[in-house]
Structures are given as structure tokens and as C-alpha cells.
Amino acid sequence: MMFMRKYLLLNIILIWVTLLPISAARAQVHWQFDVPFVPTPYVVIEEMLRLAEVTPRDFVMDLGSGDGRVLITAARTFGARGIGVDLDGDLVAESIEAAKAAGVSDRVQFLQQDLFKTDLDRATVITMYLMPGVMARLQPRLLELKPGTRLVSHDFRLGDWKPDAVTQVRKNAFLWIVPAQIAGRWQLTMALPGGEHRMTLELRQKYQEIDGFGQFSDRPSQIWEPRLRGDRLSFVIVDDRDRDNEAALYFDGQVRGDVIEGELRRGTGRTQTRHAWRAQRVAATKP
Ligand SMILES: C[S@@+](CC[C@H](N)C(=O)[O-])C[C@H]1O[C@@H](n2cnc3c(N)ncnc32)[C@H](O)[C@@H]1O
């Protein structure tokens, strides 16, 4: 494991150092921007787009699009549409030509533009090969994007935001799914056997990692297996109203601002029953 880490670190340094001379003439120009131009190898691009589960329904934005290869692959291989932005006008011109040659200019657009001044709201997937300082600056904006937006990065992390998935095919590829903001106190209503039941729920959150507790009957109840993936929230509470007939309640719901709506399954197997539930946020706490 130690050897593997050292090897990977060495690999990253070697790749950056050896690839820089490729754009030696450009490097003097490119280094004036936040990140130099170092292209992502195609096999790594495919892995990043696979990890982000890109489909023709996606709108991909490549921040610092270089020679356009990420977006062109997203369009040609995965059928996606999108925009690439780069401050380097020569690279943007090169990308536009490459998109024409690949027959995808109707699906992709390249703009000479600062990624920090680019509106990211349209993106369903964002791809990045940027340096750690740039990633750290971008992180707060990325976290405010629509829940469910997938962010995928070649080699570099987004500060202390734990990735939802990591793969290594030659290089590290990291995936984050923008989580809904669910911190706060919620009032839940559910239609259980025996009538409507109400409970309060306190949720805490650090990025996609969540925990909390509820007040199911007249005692505090633990929340088990809490998970947040984009706008999908799931957790389990034990229905302990009747000690001789306890059952797990498997909640699954979609977060839309201050409302969560979904279905819960009570129990398992043949005795399982399904019920609607809804929650309204009654007090927010900062994430
Ligand atoms: C490491 S390259 C990645 C190129 C491409 N995304 C890839 O993975 O092959 C980073 C690119 O970001 C561009 N860049 C640097 N700072 C930028 C900024 N503030 N706004 C837009 N592009 C920037 C550079 O010109 C360079 O082409």
C-alpha cells in the first residue's frame, strides 16, 4: 500500500513534469493562467465519464477545456452535449476545429472564458483537471449547484469534501455528487397502520455525510443507515410503539428545498407494507 502510494505520487509528478515540455512553447503562455495545459489521457477521460455515468441526456461542462478532448469524447462516445471553457484562445480555436473534425460541433461549444466567471447552473456533469488551489477555490460554488450534479476530477480532490467514488485506471478519478442541503429540524408526517403518525427529526450534515436523531414515540430514536445521494435521502427508524410488534421503517425520499416526500417500507418480506411520508423543515441549521 505504501509502495503503491509512493508510486502514484511519483507518477503524478512525472506526468506533469514530462508533459509540460509537450506544450513547452505554450507553457510560457499557458502558465499565466491558473493551471498549465496538460491533457488528460483518453483512457482516463473515458474512465471519468464512465464514473460520472454520462448519457445523452447530460450537459457536460469541462472547466479549463484545453484542446477540447474531454468534451469531444463526452459527445462522441457518450452522446452528451456541453460547453468547454478555457482562457487560452489558441486552445479554444483548436478545440472548435477538433469538434468539427469529430463531427460533434452541433453538440459541443468552446468558449474563451474564465472558469471562475462561468455560469455552471446548466451542467449536469462537470469535469475538471485543475490544481488543488483552484479546486479549493471552486469548491463552495460547486457545493451550491443543483443537488445531483456530478463532479468528476482527474487527479485532484475538492478540499476536504470526501468523494462519493474513486477509481484508478492509470490515474485517480474522483466523483462527487452535489448533495441536497438537509441540515435542520424537520416535522415528519406518515400514514402508518393505525393512523397518521408525526415525529420530529434533527439532521446534521457535512457534505453528503449525514446523521441525526428523531423523536418517534415519546423517546429519542436513533436514525440508522442514513444516506444522502444528490436529492435522494434514505434512513431507517425502528417503530417501537408496540414493543411486541417492533419493525424497521425504511424511509426513502426526494428532497426539494424545505420539503421531503417519499415512501417508507415497514418491515420486510411478506409482511412488509408501504406508506407515504412527508417532511417539512421547520428550522434550518448551517451545514
Ligand atoms: C490541466 S489542463 C486540462 C485540459 C483538459 N480539461 C484535459 O483534461 O485534457 C487545464 C486547462 O485549464 C486552463 N485554465 C487555467 N486557468 C483557467 C481559468 N481561470 N479559466 C479557464 N481555463 C483555465 C488552461 O489553459 C488549461 O488548458
Of all atoms in ligand 1, which is nearest to the CA of residue 35? 15
pTM score, two decimals? Answer: 0.88
Ligand 1 site, CB within 6 A: 30, 33-35, 37-40, 62, 64-66, 69-70, 85-88, 91, 114-116, 129, 154
- Position 11 scores a pLDDT of 47
Segments of the chain with pLDDT less than 70: 1-31, 286-287
The pLDDT value given to residue 31: 62
Smallest CA separation from ligand 1 atom 4, residue: 66
Domain(s) labelled CATH 3.40.50.150 in the chain stretch across: 2-177
Q: Kindly give the distance from the C-alpha atom of residue 33 to the centroid of ligand 1, in angstroms, as a whole number.
A: 8
- How many whole angstroms separate alpha carbon 241 and alpha carbon 162? 37
Which run of H or E residues covers position 13?
Answer: helix 2-19
Ligand 1 atom nearest 39 alpha carbon: 9
Cα 85 to middle of ligand 1, angstroms: 8
Tell me if residue 119 falls in helix, strand or coil: coil
Among 12, 22, 29, 34, residue to substitute to test ligand 1 (most atoms within 8 Å of Cβ): 34
**Residue 262 φ then ψ, to 5°:** -175, -160
**What is the spatial distance between Cα 38 and Cα 23, in angstroms, rounded to a whole number?**
8
- pLDDT value of residue 22: 45
State the pLDDT at residue 195: 86
The per-residue pLDDT for 285 is 78
Residue 14: per-residue pLDDT: 43
Residue 73 φ then ψ, to 5°: -65, -40
Nearest-Å Rg of the Cα atoms of the chain is 23
Q: Which atom of ligand 1 is nearest to the CA of 65?
A: 6
Which of the following CATH numbers is that of domain 2-177: 3.40.50.740, 3.40.30.10, 3.40.50.150, 3.90.950.10?
A: 3.40.50.150
| CA neighbor of 111 nearest in space, from 153, 65, 144 | 65
Chain center to CA of 4: 26
State which fold the 184-284 domain adopts: Lipocalin (2.40.128)
Going by alpha carbons, the residue nearest to atom 12 of ligand 1 is: 64
d(CA 165, CA 72): 24
- The segment(s) of the chain belonging to CATH 2.40.128.120 are 184-284
**Ligand 1 mutation target, pool 35, 127, 137, most atoms within 8 A of CB:** 35
